[in-house]
Amino acid sequence: MDPRIQRATIFLESHVNQRLSLGTMARVAGMSPSYFRHKFKAELGVTPTIYLQSVRLKMAKQLLADNGLSVKQVKAAVGIQSDSYFTHQFKTTYGLPPSRLRSDQNALIVK
């Protein structure tokens, strides 16, 4: 993997709770936004925005499964502002809303 893209993925994973623009991500990688997006997708198969969303949802699932945090606390911890967006994206990705994760034992199997 290109070290600049690797540096960007590490940055994204460690700043998951912050609002990150494509420009910010590109600056971390030392590239223009358009080249960064192109190179990132070529390296990882998804855009930086989709990658960040995936990291956020995986972290949210882990926090919901492992901690006593509320859905609102988890949503804030992973940097998602909207309740409805979080619930929709979580349900689309994992097949159930975040509030049901703890009660559904089958949900604990990581996708």
Q: What is the pLDDT of residues 57-110, one digit of tens each?
A: 999 999 988 877 888 999 999 999 898 999 999 999 999 899 887 666 444 554
**How many other CB atoms are found less than 10 A from the CB of residue 20?**
18
Q: What CATH number does the domain located at 54-108 have?
A: 1.10.10
Predicted TM-score (pTM) of this structure: 0.84
Q: Which amino acid would we find at residue 53?
A: Q
pLDDT tens readout for residues 13-48: 999 999 999 999 999 999 999 999 999 999 999 999
Residues of the chain with CATH 1.10.10.60: 3-50
**Measured CA angle at 31 (ends 3, 44), to 5 deg:** 50
Q: What CATH number does the domain located at 3-50 have?
A: 1.10.10.60
63 CB-near residues (< 8 Å, 6+ apart) = 69, 74, 77, 78
